[in-house]
Structure 1
Amino acid sequence: MAHPVDVHVGKRIRHRRWLVGMTQQQLAERVGIKFQQIQKYETGANRVSASRLWDIADALDVPVNFFFEGIESEGAGTQTGETIPADIMGDKEALDLVRSYYAIPENQRRRLFELARVLSDVA
């Protein structure tokens, strides 16, 4: 059975790879391994060594600690009134929304952000 930390790190690898629009094959080539190994990392079936995690972080342009963010609060309940899933980055719709959001020009993105804040305050 996979260790929860390995599963969390794998999810973070998958989500970052997806957000930057990289395939498993492309990431594997950048890191110098087979794509099947990336699959195993992303599911938590195989542990990622420190040096390999360093290479993956470099290929995905994030600091190594990115892969551990949120681990201490994983599984914790949400604040009162919130309906955000514990693993928001595991929700494909949320990831699609984030990708689409960052594809919008910055000035329009800021206005959209303000609109979303106003709407969420009303709800």
Structure 2
Amino acid sequence: MTHPVDVHVGKRVRHRRWLVGMTQQQLAEKVGIKFQQIQKYETGANRISASRLWDIADALDVPVSFFFEGLDETEKQPAGKASIPADLMGDKEALDLIRSYYAIPENQRRRLFELARVLSDVA
């Protein structure tokens, strides 16, 4: 049976790997393991040891604490705000949107961000 913390950490590994555009095979090679092991980590089926998590964090260029972010957050939203899925960063469509957003030149990206904020306040 999987532990909720292992599932959360695995989702964060997958999230970061997708964000940087890395395949399971590429991450496995950087860490020195088989890609099947990365699959098991990402589903929470296998627990990641501290030293392996350190290596994964180094390969994905994030601090180890990144994998634990959001672990204690509740899913409550303020009244009148749209509900955000608990695993937003596990959603491939959301990650593709983020990648596309950061591919936009910075000055245009800021303008798009402001537009999105205005539209979300109106809705």
Partner of 1:49: 49
Distance 2:101 2:78 in 1: 25
8 Å contact kept, 2:9–2:44: yes
Deviations 1:32-71 (A, max 9, x none): 0000000000000000000000000000000000000000
Distance 1:83 1:106 in 2: 28
TM-score by length of 2: 0.95
8 Å contact kept, 1:78–1:86: no
Q: Which has the higher contact order (CA 8 A, sep 6+)?
A: 2
8 Å contact kept, 2:8–2:44: yes
1:23 equivalenced with 2:23 (yes/no): yes
State the 1:73 CA deviation: 1.1
1:114 equivalenced with 2:114 (yes/no): yes
Distance 2:41 2:30 in 1: 15
Question: Sequence identity of aligned pairs in percent?
Answer: 85
| Code of the aligned partner of 2:6 | D
Unaligned runs of 5+ in 1: none
8 Å contact kept, 2:24–2:39: yes
**Residues 65-76 of structure 1: matches in 2 within 5 Å?**
65-73=65-73, 76=75
Unaligned runs of 5+ in 2: none
For the residue of structure 1 that corresponds to 2:54, the secondary structure is helix
8 Å contact kept, 2:14–2:90: no
8 Å contact kept, 2:89–2:95: yes
Partner of 2:59: 59
Partner of 1:12: 12
Q: After the TM superposition, list the runs of 4 or more consecutive aligned residues in structure 1 that deviate by more than 4 angstroms.
A: none
State the 1:88 CA deviation: 1.1
Distance 2:20 2:9 in 1: 17
Partner of 1:79: 78
Question: How many residue pairs are counted as aligned between the two chains?
Answer: 122
